[in-house]
Amino acid sequence: MPSIGHFDLLAPWYEAVIRPPDPMELRERIRLPAGGALLDAGGGTGRIAQFLRDGADPVVVADVSPRMLAEARRKAGLSPVCTPSERLPFPDGCFSRIIMVDALHHVCDQRRTAVELWRVLRPGGRLIVEEPDIRSPVVKLIALGERLSLMRSHFLPPPAIAELFRFPDADEHVETAPHVAWIIADKRPSPG
């Protein structure tokens, strides 16, 4: 995982350099509006969550970088929370939708992150992890650049990410486009 310092240093310029993906495409995949809370795990400055505010209430941006979250606080309708994704301070089943965009490769413990995200997703909810597809030569170059900048990122191929979310109550699948993958996991409603 990169040190928090990398992202604290990048915070003021992050959105100018790293453009968000098409918000309409993500809205469709996550099935908004949802009725309920949305968690943007590893959401940094809120660059994605800001486009989803009218589809969920509240919209929580969780990240470990205080300076990234300071940028998120400037966006109306977002609730920033400073926390690692491996230890979320939320009750079980409190989010109807969870997204993690371009962040799973930065966390310290990807398995523990998956368990925590699944824990806070309510039955009937949907979770999407959007990650660069490490099988792409372009993404391999990006991964090398992150390694050279001492970010210690750990990219996984999409099938390995899907395996992280293979829970007994999960229906997961992978969708891909050039250089990017979406791992989509639906939590089956509780019986009865």
pLDDT tens digits, the chain, 192 residues: what are they? 344 555 544 545 445 556 666 778 888 999 987 789 999 999 999 999 999 988 888 999 999 999 889 989 999 999 999 999 999 999 999 999 999 999 999 999 999 999 999 999 999 999 999 999 999 888 888 778 777 666 678 899 999 999 999 999 999 999 999 999 999 999 999 876
Q: Is residue 59 part of a domain?
A: yes
Separation in Å, CA 129 to CA 10, 113, 118, 125, 182: 22, 11, 12, 14, 6
Asked whether the beta carbons of 63 and 102 are under 8 A apart, the reply is: no
The phi and psi torsions of 156 (rounded to 5 degrees) equal: -115, 150
pTM value surpassing 0.95 = no
Q: Is residue 192 part of a domain?
A: no
First CA to last CA distance, the chain:
41
Asked whether the beta carbons of 133 and 161 are under 8 A apart, the reply is: no
Q: How many domains does the chain have?
A: 1
Q: Is residue 70 part of a domain?
A: yes
Q: Is residue 94 part of a domain?
A: yes
Q: Is residue 158 part of a domain?
A: yes
State the residue range of the domain holding 80: 4-187
Q: Is residue 140 part of a domain?
A: yes
Q: What is the CATH number of the domain that holds 23?
A: 3.40.50.150
Q: Is residue 82 part of a domain?
A: yes
